[in-house]
Every structure is written in structure tokens, then in C-alpha cells.
Amino acid sequence: MKTAVCYYSRHHGNTLKVLQAMAAEGSMDLIDVTTRQAVRLEDYDCIGFASGIYAFDFQKSVVEFARQYLPQGKPVFFVYTYGGAKGRCAKAVKAVAAEKGCRVLGEFSCRGFDTFGPFKLVGGIAKGHPNARDLEKARLFYRNLRVTLKSFIVK
Ligand SMILES: Cc1cc2nc3c(=O)[nH]c(=O)nc-3n(C[C@H](O)[C@H](O)[C@H](O)COP(=O)(O)O)c2cc1C
């Protein structure tokens, strides 16, 4: 059972830390959407999309990547980190998945260290996040997601 997660993580690598914790559980390939590479998402059983929240939604390159490469009808899930105001969360990428008839298996989010704009002046917000507890929750999320996926594929 193979999973790919297409991600953007630039501010402090917060989202990547969460994904690496999940990937340590096994069977997950991480695809940075900003690097040019040949992707064949058809070869995976399930596709995740992940991003820090930028201006209240996923970073645009993840949404564009989903529009271009997500195969019709693939099961999907979403992962994101945010400083303090999730806003629309994964709304834009969810809309793409819905257009392509993809079933949503779940969504994981936690806070991520944020030094954007004025927050830099106070040393940032969500300091220390994702922390050990966040990462443990992320691992649990992915373990449960794999169980759900298994029953979904078997049916
Ligand atoms: C340009 C920019 C815009 C951001 N906009 C938001 C936002 O609208 N809401 C929020 O809660 N956090 C916002 N943040 C904080 C990030 O979502 C947070 O730090 C996240 O964990 C970054 O993920 P990354 O390190 O994986 O890129 C913003 C950060 C930057 C640099």
C-alpha cells in the first residue's frame, strides 16, 4: 500500500517535520512540489497534499500541482501547519479533489512556529511547534488512515 504526499514547506520546515514523522511509519514517498520531477501519482494507492498555511490557505503551488497531476477518483488526505489562524485551511485543494471525484480520507493539522511579519518582533508565535506531542498525533493519524485505506480498497 503506497502513499505519496505532495508538499510545500518553506517557512521553517514545520510541515515537512510532520510529514517525516508520518513517513517513518512506512510506505510514504514525499514529493516537494517546487522541484521539477517526473511524477506518476497513478502508481500510488492514496495521495496526500500538505502545506503551511499562507494567507489563510494552502500555498498555491500545491493547489496547482493537484490540478495538474491528481488522477481522477484517487483517495486523498490533507496535512497542514499554521501559526495561529487557519483561515480557509485546505479549501482550495479540497475543491480540486472534489472536481476530480476523489474521496477524502482525513485531515491533520497542528500549529507551526511562525515568524511572519510582526510576529518576528516578538520572537515568533507557536514556538516549539510542531512539538513531540504534535508529531505523535501525526503518526497516529497516519496509522489510522492506513487502516481506513485498507478497508476502502478491499471493499
Ligand atoms: C508569508 C506567510 C504567510 C502566512 N500566513 C499565515 C496565515 O494566514 N495563517 C496562519 O495561521 N499562519 C500563517 N503563516 C504561518 C505558517 O502557516 C506557519 O508558520 C507554518 O507552520 C509554516 O509551514 P512551513 O514551515 O512548513 O512552511 C504564514 C507564514 C508566512 C511566511
Residue 155 pLDDT > 60:
no
Please give the number of the atom of ligand 1 that sits closest to the Cα of 84: 11
User: Taking the CB of residue 95, how many other CB atoms lie within 10 A of it?
Assistant: 13
Of 7, 8, 10, 11, best ligand 1 pocket probe by most atoms within 8 Å of the beta carbon:
11
Residue 35 pLDDT > 70:
yes
pLDDT tens for 8-20 read 999 999 999 999 9
Give distance in angstroms: CA of 52 to centre of ligand 1: 5
Residue 121 pLDDT > 80:
yes
| Confidence band of 93 (pLDDT split at 50, 70, 90) | very high
Give the per-residue pLDDT at 24. Answer: 96
Give the per-residue pLDDT at 102. Answer: 97
Give distance in angstroms: CA of 3 to centre of ligand 1: 25
Q: What is the mean pLDDT of residues 87-114?
A: 96
Q: What is the mean pLDDT of residues 53-62?
A: 96
Of 5, 8, 18, 54, best ligand 1 pocket probe by most atoms within 8 Å of the beta carbon:
54
Residue 132 pLDDT > 60:
yes
Give the per-residue pLDDT at 87. Answer: 84
Is 3-154 a domain of CATH 2.40.50.140?
A: no
